[in-house]
Amino acid sequence: MADEYLHKSLILYQKIYGKQHLKTALCLTQLGLMHLQFGKNLFDSTRYYLRLADNIFHAKPLTTSFSAECDYGLSNIEHLKWDNEKALLHINKALSLLESKHRDKEILYALCLSWKSLVVRKEGSMHPEKKVNISDKWILLFTKPLMWVKKRLLINCKKYMRIIFG
């Protein structure tokens, strides 16, 4: 339902303000982050919305925390696609935008730092340039799908109970 409302507001923003306006970019960001947050497994559409918003934000001379939020979302998507190099690139871009502002008052700055530590840890060490070692790959290979299955089971318990027990 929220998806439906965001699509309607996106259409209105594009008609009223145009496709390159900041309000359109904000709506695109919210659409992308919503797809990411609710686990719709729509990585391609999430990436599409966030990249459109990212292009609008970075074309404007004014950099905002909304642009950093968009980069944070893109970092999440790249990490879920197992591309930690791109994830680090986006999270570093978000952090550099936020560092120029009042970072001590910005919750998003703390969130980005926390996310960067997670991405770096998944790389196999505390150093971001180190590649994933074999033992980490096996751990990630088995724990990530199990976490996803647990989340989906909690969300769609009745559906999975029918599938499992007939």
Looking at per-residue pLDDT, the higher value among 108 and 163 belongs to 108
Structural contact between residues 65 and 101, judged by C-beta atoms closer than 8 angstroms: yes
* Alpha carbon distance 122, 76 (integer Å): 13
Structural contact between residues 116 and 94, judged by C-beta atoms closer than 8 angstroms: no
Q: What is the DSSP string of 148-159?
A: HHHHHHHHTHHH
pTM over 0.85: no
Q: What is the dihedral of CA 147, 151, 152, 157, to 10 degrees?
A: 130
pLDDT in tens, 26-61: 788 777 777 777 765 666 777 787 778 877 777 776
